[in-house]
Amino acid sequence: NFICALDSRKEVVDKKILLAVRRESFNFNLVRLNENNFLQTLREKLSWGLDTRN
């Protein structure tokens, strides 16, 4: 099993499931906030360093 995180949602996914990831055909602008940096936001969104299996 593995944890799939997207838009602040997390799901445990069976390792037999095939996930397809693709780039969409449009672009968008991001707003940069001073209190958070990019790597901190990534860690939170992707649950890096957290073990939520238990």
Instruction: Provide the CA 18 distance to its chain's centre, in angstroms.
Output: 17
In-domain check, residue 1: yes
In-domain check, residue 11: yes
In-domain check, residue 25: no
Dihedral sign (CA 48, 15, 6, 23): positive
Flag whether the pTM goes above 0.75. Answer: no
Which domain covers residue 40, as residue numbers?
1-20+32-54
**Above 70 in pLDDT, residue 54?**
no
- Identify the helix (H) or strand (E) that includes residue 40: helix 38-46
The predicted-structure confidence for 20-52, as pLDDT tens digits, reads as follows: 889 889 988 887 777 768 888 888 888 888 777
In-domain check, residue 38: yes
In-domain check, residue 43: yes
Calpha distance 33→37 (Å, rounded): 8
